[in-house]
Amino acid sequence: MKDKLVAAVIGCGVMGRTIVSGIIDMPEVEKVVCFDIEKAQLDEVKKAFPKAELCTNLDELIANEEIDLVYISSSNSTHVPIACAALRASKAVMTEKPSGTTLEEIKELERVAKETGGFLQVGLECRYSWAYTEAKKIIDSGEIGKLKSVHFTYSQPPVKETKTLADGTVVPEWRIKSASGGNVFLEKL
């Protein structure tokens, strides 16, 4: 077993760069290789993290035997194909949520993980967070009566491409497209 891991981050937008910032200086990580289809994203990574290595060929990155761990933070529609390829290439895989955009995709990913015996982790950080589990306990207990409606606000940085929903809520275009965002149930639960 190696003393240090070589990690790859696939998808270097805001979330990908957040992942890079969290692992680039970890003593357990020898190096971080970053991939994105957009050169501008890779330029941002290099500017912020000069130690990061850049890769512009996904197939080469997946085939690279030096890489131990792949962290997928690309568009939602790419999670399953990339994760399956990485698992088949004997990589440990961590992917942002959702793990897939359809039930069929998720079942395929689960099948490949079982078939390869590989490590697969999906970043569903909210599922077991205190706020969500406490809210569920209160709802399940009947303490507040029968749940009829839920309203919440999802906050994030401003984006250029937005869509105004029927209720006047302005959301980023990518959040409501199945291929890139989906919905709050795919994204958070």
Q: What angle do CA 102, 103, 107 make, to 5 degrees?
A: 120
> In Å, what is the CA distance from 52 to each residue of 19, 34, 125?
12, 7, 26
Global pTM value: 0.73
Residue with more model confidence, 187 or 29: 29
- Per-residue confidence (pLDDT) for residue 183, from 0 to 100: 46
pLDDT tens figures, 133-158: 888 899 899 999 988 887 766 555 55
Q: How confident is the model at residue 14 (pLDDT cuts 50, 70, 90)?
A: confident
As given in the structure block, the two tokens for residue 95 are 């992917």
Give the C-alpha separation, 20 to 33, whole Å.
9
pLDDT tens figures, 70-108: 999 998 889 999 999 999 999 999 998 888 888 999 999
